Amino acid sequence: MFFQGIRLQQEHVAARLNIQGDASRRAVVPRLLARWSMPPAGTLEATRMLVYEFVPNKTLEFHLHGKGQPTLDWPTRTRIALGSAKGLAYLHEDCNPKIIHRDIKAANILLDFMFETKVADFGLAKFFSDVNTHVSTRVMGTFRYLAPEYASSGKLTEKSDVFSFGVMLLELISGHKPVGSSYAEDSLVEWARPLLSRAQEDGNFDSLVDPKL
């Protein structure tokens, strides 16, 4: 649950009621200092709320699939993809210990007034030491974004986030949801697999690109 408000400094903020993932968020969010992540601007302890910077352009999911939304142009999609990649690289390479997000998806990519990206929602995030090859954990995340090896074994690595990011990139490029009625295949990945193979042979990627572009 989110609430919008204005702090004394006339800064727009959004407060999130922090019920689920409480311990995880408290551990992770103090480490998020990069421009591509979404650290809290403060806390309201009495109400268990985290206060965040307000991002007026909502989420990538909203702009790709919301009714009546104008089509994102190619330069904007490219900027969103690059910003999301930098945010994920920051979590995996610059945080110590590294952070595995566990729920990379279009709904967790927030967009500010310039359509710069913020990787958000660290309720499922896990710390990951360089000493370990993986973390064994209960499978959590969003269906169709989950890496198959993580979904089947519960063994979590940074590659699990990379797979989810790849699904999100396919969604950004094609305009299709990860699962839906717009294709007969079981998932967006299965829909894209033969098209990618064909495109690599003939150099024509038009069949993968959002037809609204």
d(CA 73, CA 202) in angstroms, rounded, equals 25
User: Which is it for the CA torsion 117, 110, 125, 147, positive or negative?
Assistant: negative
The catalytically annotated residue of 73, 103, 112, 130 is: 103
Tokens coding 12: 């727009």
CA distances from 82 to 74, 109, 150 (A): 12, 12, 25
Nearest to 104 by CA among 158, 50, 152, 175: 158
User: What is the DSSP code (8-state) at residue 183?
Assistant: S
What is the amino acid identity at position 109?
I
Residue 4: CB atoms within 10 A of its CB come to 10
Residue 178 burial (10 A CB sphere; 0-12, 13-18, 19+):
buried
121 annotated active-site: no
- Give me the count of residues in the chain: 213
Active-site residues: which are they? 103
